[in-house]
Amino acid sequence: MSVQETFVMVKPDGLAKGLVGQILCEIGRCNLTVIESVRIRLSRCVAQEIYLGEEKEIYFDDIISWITSNPVLFIKVIGDDAVGKIKWKIIGRYPSGLRGQYSESWIKNIAHAPDSESSALREIELVNQILEGKTKMNENKLKNKMVFALTGMSECGKSTVGRYFYSKGIPRLKFVKLFGRIRDKISPNQDLKQFVLEQENKDPFHLWDIFIEELILEMESKGVNIVSIESLYGGGLGPYLKQQLKDHFCIIYIEASEELRLQYQIKREGLESTEAAKKILLPRDEIKKASGIPELKEIAGEIIHNTRSLQDLYEAVDQVIAKHK
């Protein structure tokens, strides 16, 4: 097998049915990697280019009208035998794959994917043009802006670093509060954790794009170009923000030994022993490990080692600010 690039175009009916999360799960199960994504309302010209060579088919006008009627989502993918896995295993032929489960007709059939390596190469050129346009648009929105996202294991010192950012005139934001504002606009009576989980299961890219918009609005309302935001949870959000915001986004992973974190736990809770602290800290560590927090270290732009000395910690933060500001 060879490493190939291809893509999935989730059609309007696939988006309406909340199938993006399921498609992403299937991509992961096939050991493929998402490179980029973009949501866009296609012009007829671009749509016709995607279906080049099918102009004489009876369904051609109908499919062009359908995929230009509402936004579609392009998900660019790479991996071993990516073309075949996406087209035949994930999207599938009737009655197999997602099409077999969810299609309404030959037109409203969930998603499109190239059927050969040559067609993938041709169609990816079109996708790349769309992605470049989104990058330029993001650059305009993010001009002169910088976002530091703090993460790490329990009691590693994220809040201490966040407070120090604030003391330097850099506002301290919270992921949970920004997601709360999104929830209040969409489903105000829903439990926040359940809301985020439900939205990510349906279409994580849509939720995360709204999050980016909310983040930029918050920065503009505060009249600032640089913020810190905590605490970044595991999973796909961190990689997605890094992918979309590029040089305007930096994950800071705060690393501290278990011994030091236990000491912080004792102080925070007013505990009398290390064993009592372990009963609180270690189960929380397992939850964070399961959620993918340690993997964020691998894509972090900066790793700050919290070694007990506040002065050393603050100097490390100063160096990060100077490097990225």
The Cα–Cα gap between 73 and 231 comes to: 28
Catalytic residue among 112, 206, 305, 324: 112
The Cα–Cα gap between 284 and 266 comes to: 15
103 burial level (CB within 10 Å; 0-12, 13-18, 19+): buried
- Residues 48, 50, 54, 60: is their CA dihedral positive or negative? negative
Q: Which two tokens stand for residue 313?
A: 């910690």
Of 323, 296, 320, the closest CA to residue 164 belongs to 320
The Cα–Cα gap between 105 and 98 comes to: 13
93 burial level (CB within 10 Å; 0-12, 13-18, 19+): exposed
Q: How far is CA 164 from CA 161, 311, 316, in A?
A: 5, 11, 11
Q: How far is CA 191 from CA 1, 41, 112, 175, 210, in A?
A: 45, 32, 35, 15, 18
Of 10, 1, 316, the closest CA to residue 165 belongs to 316
CB 166 within 8 A of CB 223: no
Of 261, 285, 262, the closest CA to residue 275 belongs to 262
The Cα–Cα gap between 149 and 253 comes to: 8
Of 137, 131, 35, the closest CA to residue 79 belongs to 35
In the chain, the largest separation of any two C-alpha atoms, in whole Å, equals: 79
Catalytic, 248? Answer no
Q: Which residues participate in catalysis according to the annotation? A: 112
